[in-house]
Amino acid sequence: MTPLPALSRIAHGDFTRDLDLTQEEFLTLLDLASEVKASPADFRAHLSGRSVALLFEKPSLRTRLTFELAIQQLGGFAILNDGPIGAREPLKDVARNLDRWVNGIVARTFLQKTVDDLARYSRVPVINALSDLWHPCQALADMQTLRERFGSVRGMKLAFVGDGNNVANSLMLCAARLGMNFAIASPAKYGVEESVTAQAQAIADQSGSRISLTQDPSQAVRGAHAVYTDVWASMGEEDEAAERRTAFADYQIDDELFGLAEPDAVFMHCLPAKRGEEVTGSVIESPRSVVFDQAENRLHAQKALLLMLLA
């Protein structure tokens, strides 16, 4: 059984948001994810006898299956409970029951407060598998994908076109930590929150990267090495779908807009994608699309995270 690298334990104890990882832990996790992907058999017993509860308020394909597979392939076992968290009984009681039974909790929730409260009341590690503010596991897989494709990503430009949502928040922070320049183009009402931008800018000031916000998709994409988008209306925003389609009509990633990026630029999307809305079929199905590499790397990045929290 391969020994885990030094300094591999996450000191915070939880992964409720991207910045729960120190810079050293962040880089160690990305390196470990690559090791796990290259030699999965070397890590298959590190969670032997350990159990993880999956609490899912939102339906899921990639998040649920990759976490279940990651836990099982590391030798542990997963227990799924879907539906509202804290509806039948107080959330603090849910957390204090679970920490008597399992070794960790993975939560995919509507609200960040739910994740934070689980971590507050539970004595076992809590992992944010998605909330309204952050999608940190997705961002880890995305950074792994970019490092695989380009090697060093320092000085590269990552452009995000669309809603300043949880995915954009996590990507902005992670890009800044790796010294990547990050540009986001969003309609006026749908930009990243100022507090998130301020956090990212503080990191960028240390790493030497640049953060830019614009309403012009062309400006964001021009010269980018990776172009990223997401659905215009996330789960829970269905009643805004028509309004958002109008607001984001000029923010579709089509061949013309993608052509402003670098010749070797890649297209990224966290999936599920709505072809014909935020991206055209010709772009997402092109050889430069890495969306399924991102989806695959959810498995490996989450294995590394589980190892660093539970092994």
Q: Domains of the chain: which residue ranges? A: 18-135+296-310, 138-290
**Which of 135, 225, 269, 300 is labelled catalytic?**
135
Q: Do residues 300 and 32 lie in contact, with contact meaning Cβ atoms separated by under 8 Å?
A: no
Q: Do residues 101 and 51 lie in contact, with contact meaning Cβ atoms separated by under 8 Å?
A: yes
**Which of 163, 298, 300, 302 is labelled catalytic?**
298
By mean pLDDT, which of 23-37, 38-52, 177-191, 232-246 is the weakest?
232-246
The pLDDT value recorded for residue 234 is 82
Separation of alpha carbons 77 and 84, rounded Å:
22
Q: Do residues 58 and 131 lie in contact, with contact meaning Cβ atoms separated by under 8 Å?
A: no
The pLDDT value recorded for residue 238 is 79
**Which of 144, 230, 244, 302 is labelled catalytic?**
230
- Per-residue pLDDT, averaged over 249-274, amounts to 98
Please state which CATH number belongs to domain 138-290. 3.40.50.1370
Residue 230 annotated as catalytic: yes
Q: Do residues 282 and 259 lie in contact, with contact meaning Cβ atoms separated by under 8 Å?
A: no
Task: For residue 213, give the nearest of 192, 235, 236 by alpha carbon.
Answer: 192
- Per-residue pLDDT, averaged over 202-227, amounts to 98
The pLDDT value recorded for residue 7 is 39
Residue 255 annotated as catalytic: no
The pLDDT value recorded for residue 4 is 58
The pLDDT value recorded for residue 3 is 62
**Which of 117, 132, 138, 244 is labelled catalytic?**
138
Q: pLDDT band at 171, cuts 50/70/90?
A: very high
Residue 53, beta-bridge partner list: 79, 105
How does pLDDT run across 75-129, given as a tens digit for each residue?
Answer: 999 999 999 999 999 999 999 999 999 999 999 999 999 999 999 999 999 999 9
Separation of alpha carbons 81 and 92, rounded Å:
16
Residue 244 annotated as catalytic: no
Residue 245 annotated as catalytic: no
- Per-residue pLDDT, averaged over 209-219, amounts to 98
Residue 135 annotated as catalytic: yes
Residue 298 annotated as catalytic: yes
Separation of alpha carbons 218 and 183, rounded Å:
11
Alpha-carbon separation of residue 69 from 2, 112, 296, 299, 311 (angstroms): 19, 25, 11, 7, 16
Fold agreement between 18-135+296-310 and 138-290: yes
Separation of alpha carbons 311 and 289, rounded Å:
34
**Which of 108, 225, 244, 269 is labelled catalytic?**
108
- Per-residue pLDDT, averaged over 275-294, amounts to 98
Separation of alpha carbons 286 and 177, rounded Å:
29
**Which of 270, 294, 300, 302 is labelled catalytic?**
270
Please state which CATH number belongs to domain 18-135+296-310. 3.40.50.1370
Q: What is the mean pLDDT of the chain?
A: 96
